[in-house]
Amino acid sequence: MSPRRKKPDPEKVREEILAAARAQVSEGGPEGLSLRGVARAVGYSPAGLYEYFDSRDAILEALARRASASLTRAFIEGRGKAPDEPPLVALGLAYLRFSRENREDFALLFQRLRSTRRGLEAPVGTDSSYALLRAAVEEAREAGTLDGAADPDAVAYAFWSLAHGMATLQAGHLQGFDADFEAADRAALRALLAGFSA
């Protein structure tokens, strides 16, 4: 009688699937993800993947959630990398650095993951990059470097929009353009902060 084959650890298999999917996304972007290719990489049939993920979209969403957690870590580390900058400028620079160093994660994050906050009246979660951005806005207001009457969500939206716009331009239309984008980014973020100053 042959020994019974040990059932694979579901969490380990999920990790293998996500690693294979991440490799594909790195090569061909989110649209290049193929369930057949992932299945082949992990030694499963395409149908076998459905035991761990409901769909291709579920795999992409899981990757996007990981990218979101990576962005939050980048925000936390970004404060330490630019200690002489105002917190809002430091976070903007961290966002841009993340977009340059993690292009696929950046694309996944903003193509696949929708905000769970459905309106301004909804509370801001405590474990997101947006929560860190909002906290930096409040910090600036308390320090007197921001107009106390400025709406925190409006200020956070302005900084996010500016950083995201610069990141998107640099990743696409301006890719390969010879310029000191880091200096330009810093100047733009500082100018925006000055515009909101008390």
pLDDT digits (tens, 9 = 90+) for 157-183: 999 999 999 999 998 899 989 999 999
Pairwise pLDDT comparison (67 vs 166), residue with the higher score? 166
Neighbours of 107 (CB within 10 A): 19
Cα distances from 134 to residues 72, 120, 124, 141, 162, in angstroms, run 13, 12, 8, 11, 15
> What DSSP designation does 171 have?
H
Q: What is the pLDDT of residue 117?
A: 62
Mean pLDDT over each residue of the chain, to the nearest integer? 85
Check pLDDT > 90 for residue 1: no
Q: What does the DSSP assignment read for 90-145?
A: HHHHHHHHHHHH-HHHHHHHHHH---S--STTSPPPSSSHHHHHHHHHHHHHHHTS
Structure tokens at 55: 């769909």
Pairwise pLDDT comparison (36 vs 10), residue with the higher score? 36
Q: What is the pLDDT of residue 20?
A: 92
Pairwise pLDDT comparison (54 vs 3), residue with the higher score? 54
pLDDT category, 4, cuts 50, 70, 90? Answer: low
Burial of 79 (0-12, 13-18, 19+ CB in 10 A): middle
Rounded to two decimals, the pTM is 0.82
